[in-house]
Amino acid sequence: MTERDLTYELLYTNYVDMENGDDVESIDYRSLIHIMTEMMTRIEQLEKWKENAQKSARIVKQTLDAKND
């Protein structure tokens, strides 16, 4: 599993306004969209793998059932 530093990847910044106390936090939304797109792609890939594994399991079950008959 990959270690990720999302604070770094999102280009997180924190500006502390010492005068007025209006602290500002921000992230780069393009980076957020990139991370979300990457996650969605990985989820879709996992769903395909799951589907293929289920198909394989059905084939194995059918083969075993046929041998037992």
Helical H segments across the chain, by residue range: 6-9, 29-68
In DSSP terms, 13 is beta-bridged to 26
Domain count, the chain: 1
Residues 6+ apart with CB under 8 A from 23: 14, 15, 16, 17
- Give the model's pLDDT for residue 59: 95
The reply to whether 1 falls in a domain is no
For 7-48, the pLDDT digits (tens) are 888 988 988 888 888 888 899 999 999 999 999 999 999 999
The reply to whether 34 falls in a domain is yes
Entry pTM: 0.66
The reply to whether 33 falls in a domain is yes
The reply to whether 20 falls in a domain is yes
The reply to whether 17 falls in a domain is yes
The reply to whether 35 falls in a domain is yes
Domain, as residue range, for 19: 6-68
The reply to whether 29 falls in a domain is yes
What's the rounded Cα separation, in Å, for the pair 26 and 41?
A: 26
